[in-house]
Amino acid sequence: MTGAVFIEIFKQTWKQMLAWGLGLAALAMLVVLMVPLFDMQDMKTLLESFPPFILAMIGVGRDLEVFATNEGFVAIGFFGKSALIFAVYPVVMGMRITAEEEDNGIMDVLLSLPVSRAQVLVEKFLAYCVSIVGVVALIYLGVGIGDSLGNVGLDVGRLTEVTFYLIPLMIFVMAATMLVAALARRRMVALGVITAFVVASFSLQTIGLAAEGTVAEPLGTVSFFSYYNAGDILREGFIWPHIAGYIALSLVMLGASLVRYERRDVGV
Amino acid sequence: MSGIIIGNTLRTAWKQMLYWGLGLGLLGMYIVFIASNSDIVQGYADLFESLPPALLTAFGASSAEFFRTTEGWVVTILVSELALFLSVYAVLAGLAISANEEQSGILDVVLSLPISRRAFLLEKWLAYALLAFGTVLISALLPTLTAIGLGIDADIGIIFASILAVYPSALIVITVTVLLSTLFRRRIAAIGAVAAFVIGSYMSSIVGSSASGPIADLLETLSYFSHVGGESIVSGEYEPGGTLALLVAAGLGFALSAHLFDRRDIGT
Amino acid sequence: MAASSVIDIKGLSKIYGSGSKATVALDKLTLQVQPGEIFGYLGPNGAGKTTTIRVLLDLIRPSSGSASIFGMDARQQSVEIHQRIGFLPGELSLWQGRSGAQVIHYIASVRGDIKSIVKQAEELAARLKLDISKKVRDLSSGNKRKLGLVIAMMHSPDLLILDEPTNGLDPLVQQTFHELMNEFRDKGKTVFLSSHVLSEVQAICDRVGILRDGDLKAVQSVDALTDVKFRWVHVQFRDGVPAEVAQGLRNLPAVSEFNADGPHARMRLQGDFDPLLRTLGAGYVEQLHVEEPTLEDIFLAYYSGEGAGA
């Protein structure tokens, strides 16, 4: 592995990484700046009267101490409710691993060079993983800057785990996109399938939370979004089994993509 | 205006409309199926009865009446998700009006034909406006027919009308995408800008509806998600003026796009 | 012979799709390209030229048969093969937002020896009058093609695979391209180029393969291919074409496609000249012009199923 593809991809992507990171950081800042508009003590009193399934629906969980804090509001209001938004960037990057360049013919040039298909895929995957880390780091920076600008008095340290937990989630989505593109060949088909997958996962999770006690609840656990629960993360920190699950599944999908892409025709 | 471009666009893009309509319709069917368990709706209704209005807005419902009825529960859960997912469809549709063909060079060929740029853009916009309506219609028909099939105790007309009320927001997103494609020329820049618009609107809606005060109110007003209108249909407070305003805004946005598109270089 | 071939294709078939939608792109193709030759791969659109090239590059996999380059299997040892080849696709796509220099640097870094490759690329670019500081999106189609040629040749590969290489190049640059190809051959290197520009193939190729509907119709040297047994004969009479001469010419078995227009007559002659000259003797011939068949004629002859020597 020469790293040349990795470096080039990073050169080509850093501007998009910056744009996405700054955009999401701006949103994070906006949410942080809104925190003073809430009276957290009133909120806590109110939430104490709620039964568990309502709390689950809004992603608060059973520990009210978590939500009724500034950090809890940011974690659940921004990171929890906006999980779908964080899935967009990895889908865009995942499409670039093979689908985009295969569709526009660049892959023909790349694969005529002395580099194996597996090497191209792995180096690109790793480069986009780094860009995901960059985007997440910028979001974290946005939270910190929002706190300073608005004098919110947020304990930013408590949001570290909630923020960086996004990395395995986003890598999972990117790996799924790569696998779909390796299987589907055609870019538009791949985009359609991965969009349906992400949208269905998000819906299963939200409906599962809103309909506790019905068939929607166990179905909700099938969604990969269910393992990114901002309230739980704020309370318990990194939930390592879930992170390991994201990483293991990402690696399995990476492996399956390599096998499939190695065997099939390119650009047909 | 000959209508040839409208016809051609409908022929090439109807499958996309069908797939999106079926996908979103399936989501609606699932929610209606869950709602057929009356305990769930009753549980929410009892609970929300006791909540103060400020908190209810955080759930996406402005009055306890919403959760009292099955149609209220369905609309509250479904419409917010539909508006978000339909925005993705609308962005793709908006890009297909000019940006995709400009980038691929197809526009050079099309505009070498005896058709004015304004007529071309108008026909494509009308075609995608029709396709978006078709998507919304299918999305509305499937859950409505499911509700009838399951014989659920709900005002099915309200469910149908509330889903159709999402349409103007899709038209707004299509138009904004066309406008941004006209302004930025480069497809990738247009995508970035329209993604910022949709995500920013979504977050503004969430934050604005969760908090109180002039800033929050302004954010909520600026977001097109806040004007979707499904909940006002449920509560009987629907006023066609809001929908009309969105449609007029879309028309004006298109007129501006056509004016700018007529004045600028193509494909450079 | 096959062991020393640079390219060795045996019984190669490629079928796209399956069942009733199956399309045979290549049908049991067998072909060898020798070291140090410029091999022209001729055929109309859809004949299977690009499919052959993409199999050689391991971008697509054959339905049956095999292809090897430098004695290495095109599929199993593709990375080793790619180290020694340069490729220009028929429709070149590159990263729009990168400059020519950046693209060259990237590809050179994948190949390894960045410094010498970039130096060679700059020399080639200067020779082709290409400004590599411009972004790809700002290059004209001809200049993109030049960049593609630079990328294909900058590492001095042992084999060049070029798909319609002169598409979009102006005549002056085409001339430079021909010079480059000849210099390349003089170094003992091999070129496999697909084309439908027959004059180009005639000008630079040593051998030609003619492909039609996935089937290799003929492989011959350009000289042998043009050594066919028909000629175009133009005759100019002083007082128009005499009726009895016209009738006589039409009746000659060796003459076909006879056309008379005023004093001019044009015909295709297959075989000896003697019967023609005896028939012409009945009129007053001012001028007689014999034209060798062009490669286009031969090309059409192959496509119409007549083959060379028809």
Using alpha carbons, select from B164, B85, C217 the residue that is nearest to residue A201: B85
| Residue among B145, B167, B141, B16 nearest B82 (CA) | B167
Q: Is the CB of residue A187 less than 8 Å away from at least one CB of chain B?
A: no
Please answer whether residues C179 and C153 qualify as being in contact, where contact means their C-beta atoms are separated by less than 8 angstroms: no
How many other CB atoms are there within 10 angstroms of residue B232's CB atom? 17
Q: How far apart are CA B124 and CA B127, in angstroms?
A: 5
| Tokens, residue A164 | 């960086």
- The two tokens of residue B173 are 């997103």
Provide the whole-model pTM: 0.82
Q: Give tens-digit pLDDT for A11-54.
A: 999 999 999 999 899 988 888 887 877 666 666 666 665 555 55
If you measure CA to CA, which chain B residue comes closest to A85?
B199
- Residues A129-147: pLDDT tens digits? 999 999 999 999 999 999 8
C-alpha–C-alpha distance, residues B216 and B222, integer Å? 10
CA B3, distance to chain mean position in Å, is 25
**How far apart are the CA of A125 and the nearest CA of chain C, in angstroms?**
17
Q: What residue in B sits closest to A196 (Cα-Cα)?
A: B23
Angstrom distance (rounded) from CA A101 to CA A155: 43
Distance, CA of A232 to CA of A184 (rounded, Å): 36
The DSSP secondary structure of chain B, one letter per residue, reads --SHHHHHHHHHHHHHHHHHHHHHHHHHHHHHHHHTSHHHHHHHHHHHHTS-HHHHHHTT-SSTHHHHSHHHHHHHHHHHHHHHHHHHHHHHHHHHHTHHHHHHTHHHHHTTSS--HHHHHHHHHHHHHHHHHHHHHHHHHHHHHHHHHHT-SS-HHHHHHHHHTTHHHHHHHHHHHHHHHHHH-SHHHHHHHHHHHHHHHHHHHHHHHHS-SHHHHHHHHH-GGGG--HHHHHHT---HHHHHHHHHHHHHHHHHHHHHHHHS-S--
- What is the pairing mode between strands C23-33 and C72-73? unpaired
First-to-last alpha carbon distance for chain A, in angstroms, is 27
8 Å CB contact of B37 and A81: no
Q: How many CB pairs under 8 A join A and B?
A: 84
Q: Say what the pLDDT of residue A267 is.
A: 80
* Contact in structure between C216 and C30 (CB atoms under 8 Å): yes
When pLDDT is averaged across residues B131-160 and rounded to a whole number, the result is: 92
C16 close contact with A: CB closer than 8 A: yes
Nearest alpha carbon to residue C30 among C11, C4, C53? C11
How far is it, in rounded angstroms, from Cα A8 to Cα B20? 36
User: Residues C197, C199, C205, C208: what is their CA dihedral angle, to the nearest 10 degrees?
Assistant: 60
Most A-contacting residue of B15, B19, B22, B34 (CB-CB within 10 A), to test interface: B34
For residues B141 and B146, what is the distance between their CA atoms, to the nearest angstrom?
Answer: 8
User: Six-digit token pair at A72?
Assistant: 């809890």
* CB contact at 8 A, C97 and C137: yes
* Bridge partner residues of C23 (DSSP): C16
Which residues make beta-bridge pairs with C67? C9
Q: Name all chains with 3 or more CB-CB pairs below 8 Å to chain B.
A: A
Interface contact A82, partner B, CB < 8 A: yes
User: Could you tell me the CA-to-CA distances from A98 to A130, A253, C96 in Å, in that order?
Assistant: 17, 14, 17
- pLDDT at residue B170 greater than cutoff 60: yes
C-alpha angle A160/A166/A167, rounded to 5°? Answer: 100
Cα B59 to Cα A210: distance, rounded to the nearest angstrom: 11
Could you give phi then psi for residue A105, rounded to 5 degrees? 95, -5
Q: Is C119 an 8 Å CB contact of chain A?
A: no
Please say whether the beta carbons of A194 and A112 come within 8 A: no
From the CB of residue C63, how many other CB atoms can be counted at a distance below 10 Å? 16
Q: What is the pLDDT of residue B21?
A: 95
Residue C23: closest CA among C34, C12, C15: C15
How far is C215 from C28, CA to CA, in rounded Å?
Answer: 7
* CB < 8 Å to B59, chain A: 57-58
Q: C296: which DSSP letter?
A: H
* Residue A113 with chain C: CB contacts under 8 Å: 82, 107, 110-111
Residues of B in contact with A24 (CB under 8 A): 199
What is the edge-to-edge ordering of all strands in the sheet holding C7-16?
C23-33, C7-16, C64-69, C72-73
Across the interface, whether the CB atoms of B215 and A37 are under 8 A apart is answered yes
Interface test with B, best of A18, A189, A199, A225 (most B CBs within 10 A): A199
B85 contact A CB<8A: yes
**pLDDT at position A39:** 65
Cβ burial of B137 (10 Å; 0-12, 13-18, 19+) is middle
pLDDT per residue as tens digits for the range B64-110 = 555 667 888 788 788 888 988 999 999 999 999 999 988 888 888 78
Check if C93 contacts A (Cβ < 8 Å).
yes
Cβ-defined contacts of B40-46 (< 8 Å, 24+): B40/A211, B40/A213, B40/A214, B40/B73, B41/B67, B41/B69, B41/B70, B41/B73, B43/A53, B44/A54, B44/B73, B45/B69
Compare all CA atoms of chain A with the CA of C16 and give the residue at the minimum distance: A268
Yes or no: say if B246 and B171 are a contact pair by the CB < 8 Å rule. yes
Chain segment C241-264, per-residue pLDDT in tens: 999 999 999 999 999 989 999 899
Contact A207 B50 (CB under 8 A): no
Q: Residue A179 corresponds to which tokens in the numbers above?
A: 């696998």
Tokens of A240: 């390592």
CA distances to A211, C5, C153 from C221, rounded to whole Å, are 77, 16, 25
CB B33 within 8 A of CB B116: no
Could you give the angle at the alpha carbon of C15 between the alpha carbons of C14 and C16, nearest 5°? 120
Please tell me the predicted confidence (pLDDT) of residue C309: 41
Q: Please say if the pLDDT value at position B234 is more than 70.
A: yes
Which chain C positions have a beta carbon within 8 Å of A103's beta carbon? none
Phi, psi of B236 (to 5 degrees): 75, 15
Taking residues B180-205, report their average pLDDT.
88
Is C85 within 8 Å of chain A by CB?
yes
The three-point CA angle B18-B21-B22 to 5° equals 85
* Cα–Cα distances in angstroms (integers) from residue B156 to residues A107, B36, B134, B143, B159, in the given order: 51, 12, 19, 9, 5
Q: Are strands C230-237 and C285-291 parallel, antiparallel or unpaired?
A: antiparallel
Give 10-residue mean pLDDT values along chain C (310 residues): 79 90 92 95 88 93 94 92 93 90 92 91 94 93 93 95 89 89 93 85 88 88 75 90 91 91 91 90 91 73 55
What pLDDT was estimated at residue C310? 38
Q: How far out from the chain centre does Cα B121 lie?
A: 20
Percent of chain B whose pLDDT exceeds 90: 40
Q: Which pLDDT belongs to residue A249?
A: 97
pLDDT tens-place string over residues C52-93: 999 999 999 999 999 999 999 999 999 999 999 999 999 888
